[in-house]
Chains A and B, each alone.
Chain A
């Protein structure tokens, strides 16, 4: 089945004086996706979102949403977009229900339709017991859920979520992530920005890794992992090794990188069968005693590390 490009960003350049925030950034996002924008803080994720929403001026490039050019006056496009900001954006002086109703009213004029949408959003975010409370009485997690309710209350076709789980407890985070998947199942296309690779890996159908305003790699999680050499990372604790032994381990089949620090040995290997057995057999042959052993498949952090040479959370 041919997917439709819901958003097309081409060669987007945004400069803040001498700093290049977006460097010829290009992205295609298709209808029905949960598209993850993954990158460290300051990589250009929020700038890209603000350009996409026509809030920020940019120096070069084009942005089309639903096949139309996005401008500040594209009210027909804005009608179909819901945004969950990184910072909670609600009125402190209004209750949970009033806030949701107010923001719904910016999209939907019909009172009856609005009432139903507000009820749906309250139920969706599990805020039924808190509708009369003011935001400052809510916990961090509930506040984030209110922020989400205000952004999605009008049931938009496209939802943009900019780090919606920042400073949220694990329980609320899981609820938020489950909610995002449910929204997607109900038909919304979602753009999800985060620097938490686990979240992105958990819910996104396609991911773009960005750093310094550039897309370094894009694809499904599997596609991204296939782009790198690391197929497996083996960690062995409480092991004592000398330099000749380390040099010999480096020559084992499929090993392409090792690190040894504080008696912890980390071996990166290419994709191959029986990597772990081969390494452990070698250590037994050499009469090397060791503690706990872990074997991990590559993560998005490994992808980021290999592509940029630094950890995602550096």
Chain B
């Protein structure tokens, strides 16, 4: 048994075209992503430098308590979360906004407001700052009225926005919007196990290959051969994914979260789905090997595309318009699981992803097994 395992292992890892697609291609793609986003695009992680958001503050001469409290709130934020530019005229501020030298304009009024020119991470932060103030406005107004000397302390306590963001909104982890490409990439890499599965499936079926026929007429039980093949493929692809994750975290310095156990679990299920997908494709009616590889490329890249591999916002667009696709697309579910680990710290959602992945694994494993367990054929 060990003997068969050893040779199947050697045979698989020496199969360069298959290993290229399953291991090297995702690593190359990850490197290209990293290079194209540039190190600046990947710096804004929880552990790295935080760039204050450039903004302007326009005072309308409103002397209300609320306006005073909001102005004090913004002043407390200056230098930390915000980089308030020395602009007093609204027209100058609007020009700066159009020229994108600032990301937004806060209006100090009884009812504070914000103007931004586009959607983006900085704009989201400014919106969150305003929302954060509004949630606590009544408290600030009360403190300003009763204990004005305590207002700075109260604002400071609430306005430690970075910590709030780190602990509540982003789980102390990466804020970089480009990180989604890497999650989609790892999800795609998991599905690339299909390339391993296709070859193995072909080698196991007497009606498709001479090797399949030769192996089918030996006294070794077909189930034994299938289990050895599957075990070898799972192990190899699991390590492929671990190598990719190591490369992404250690070489490209992109955080995938701190929960190693969860990461291994997701990687394992992803590997299983990829390999089973390939075995199932290999069992397809008698189409040529190259066509099967073509189907493989399609069924790995297209789900990857839907999960945001080529266009980062794709998964969000699908989530808004047709969320069911994100539930049944294994790449999207895998990517979501990585999000839950690396960004959200949302265990409920993570568990849901794991359940979906487990169901997909079982379904694909069943299909793959039913496809290759046949022992006698109508034609060869």
Partner-B contacts on A (CB < 8 A): 16, 50, 53-57, 72-73, 75-76, 78-79, 81, 83, 85-91, 93-94, 98, 101-103, 105-107, 109, 111, 114, 150-151
Residues of B within 8 A of A89 (CB): 209-211, 213-214
Is the CB–CB distance between B217 and A81 below 8 Å? yes
Q: Check B3 for interface membership: any CB of A closer than 8 A.
A: yes
Bound complex: CA of A98 vs CA of B4, how far in Å? 11
In B157-198, the 8 Å CB interface with A consists of none
Is the CB–CB distance between B376 and A57 below 8 Å? yes
Interchain nearest-CB distance for A198 vs B (Å): 26
**A85: contacting residue among B11, B15, B203, B214, CB under 8 A:** B214
Is the CB–CB distance between A79 and B210 below 8 Å? no
The residue of chain B having its C-beta at the shortest distance from the C-beta of A16 within the complex is B379
Is the CB–CB distance between B214 and A55 below 8 Å? no
In B1-24, the 8 Å CB interface with A consists of 3-4, 7, 10-12, 14-15
Is the CB–CB distance between B11 and A54 below 8 Å? no
Interchain nearest-CB distance for B288 vs A (Å): 15
Bound complex: CA of A87 vs CA of B206, how far in Å? 12
Question: Which 7 residue pairs across A and B have the least CB separation, nearest first?
Answer: A72-B375, A89-B210, A93-B14, A106-B218, A87-B210, A89-B214, A79-B219
Interchain nearest-CB distance for A21 vs B (Å): 9
Is the CB–CB distance between A56 and B213 below 8 Å? no
Q: What are 17 contact pairs spanning A and B, CB under 8 A? A: A55-B217, A55-B377, A57-B376, A75-B219, A78-B217, A83-B214, A85-B213, A85-B214, A86-B210, A88-B210, A91-B203, A94-B7, A101-B3, A102-B7, A103-B218, A106-B219, A107-B220
Interchain nearest-CB distance for A40 vs B (Å): 19
Given contacts A105-B4, A150-B214, contact A98 B10 (CB under 8 A): yes
Residues 338-380 of chain B, each 1 if its beta carbon lies under 8 Å from chain A, else 0: 0000000000000000000000000000000000000111111
Residues of B within 8 A of A86 (CB): 210
Q: Check B55 for interface membership: any CB of A closer than 8 A.
A: no
Interchain nearest-CB distance for A213 vs B (Å): 14
Partner-A contacts on B (CB < 8 A): 3-4, 7, 10-12, 14-15, 203, 206, 209-211, 213-222, 375-380
**B210: contacting residue among A53, A72, A85, CB under 8 A:** A85
The residue of chain B having its C-beta at the shortest distance from the C-beta of A54 within the complex is B376
Interchain nearest-CB distance for A162 vs B (Å): 10
Residues of A within 8 A of B222 (CB): 72
**A56: contacting residue among B209, B215, B379, CB under 8 A:** B379
Bound complex: CA of A159 vs CA of B10, how far in Å? 29
Is the CB–CB distance between A91 and B219 below 8 Å? no
Residues of A within 8 A of B220 (CB): 106-107
Max chain A Cβ within 10 angstroms of own Cβ: one of B217, B220, B375: B217
Is the CB–CB distance between A93 and B15 below 8 Å? yes
Given contacts A72-B376, A94-B10, contact A78 B213 (CB under 8 A): no
Bound complex: CA of A180 vs CA of B206, how far in Å? 25
Bound complex: CA of A83 vs CA of B11, how far in Å? 22
Bound complex: CA of A174 vs CA of B149, how far in Å? 107
- Known contacts A87-B210, A106-B219; 4 additional CB pairs below 8 A are A72-B376, A89-B209, A89-B210, A103-B218
The residue of chain A having its C-beta at the shortest distance from the C-beta of B375 within the complex is A72
**B380: contacting residue among A50, A76, A91, A93, CB under 8 A:** A50
**A78: contacting residue among B206, B210, B218, B377, CB under 8 A:** B218
Max chain B Cβ within 10 angstroms of own Cβ: one of A86, A106, A150: A106
The residue of chain B having its C-beta at the shortest distance from the C-beta of A88 within the complex is B210
**A75: contacting residue among B14, B15, B221, B379, CB under 8 A:** B221
Bound complex: CA of A90 vs CA of B209, how far in Å? 10
Bound complex: CA of A204 vs CA of B4, how far in Å? 35
Residues of B within 8 A of A151 (CB): 214
Max chain A Cβ within 10 angstroms of own Cβ: one of B3, B15, B375: B3
Given contacts A85-B213, A89-B214, A106-B220, contact A101 B379 (CB under 8 A): no
Bound complex: CA of A54 vs CA of B376, how far in Å? 6
Is the CB–CB distance between A57 and B377 below 8 Å? yes
Residues of B within 8 A of A75 (CB): 219, 221
Bound complex: CA of A200 vs CA of B63, how far in Å? 111
Residues of A within 8 A of B217 (CB): 53-55, 78, 81, 83
Is the CB–CB distance between B380 and A56 below 8 Å? yes
Residues of A within 8 A of B210 (CB): 85-89
Max chain B Cβ within 10 angstroms of own Cβ: one of A16, A50, A103: A50
The residue of chain A having its C-beta at the shortest distance from the C-beta of B380 within the complex is A50
Bound complex: CA of A78 vs CA of B375, how far in Å? 13
The residue of chain B having its C-beta at the shortest distance from the C-beta of A99 within the complex is B7
Bound complex: CA of A16 vs CA of B380, how far in Å? 11
Bound complex: CA of A102 vs CA of B12, how far in Å? 14
Given contacts A16-B379, A55-B377, A57-B378, contact A106 B11 (CB under 8 A): no
Bound complex: CA of A56 vs CA of B380, how far in Å? 7
Interchain nearest-CB distance for B157 vs A (Å): 65
**B4: contacting residue among A16, A73, A106, CB under 8 A:** A106
Is the CB–CB distance between B211 and A55 below 8 Å? no
Residues of B within 8 A of A107 (CB): 218-220
Residues of A within 8 A of B214 (CB): 83, 85, 89, 103, 150-151
Interchain nearest-CB distance for A47 vs B (Å): 8
Residues of A within 8 A of B7 (CB): 91, 94, 98, 101-102, 105
Is the CB–CB distance between B3 and A105 below 8 Å? yes
Bound complex: CA of A102 vs CA of B219, how far in Å? 13
Bound complex: CA of A103 vs CA of B203, how far in Å? 13
Residues of B within 8 A of A83 (CB): 214, 217
The residue of chain B having its C-beta at the shortest distance from the C-beta of A47 within the complex is B380
Residues of A within 8 A of B380 (CB): 50, 55-56
Bound complex: CA of A85 vs CA of B4, how far in Å? 21
The residue of chain A having its C-beta at the shortest distance from the C-beta of B16 within the complex is A93
Is the CB–CB distance between B11 and A55 below 8 Å? no
Is the CB–CB distance between A56 and B10 below 8 Å? no
Residues of A within 8 A of B4 (CB): 102, 105-106
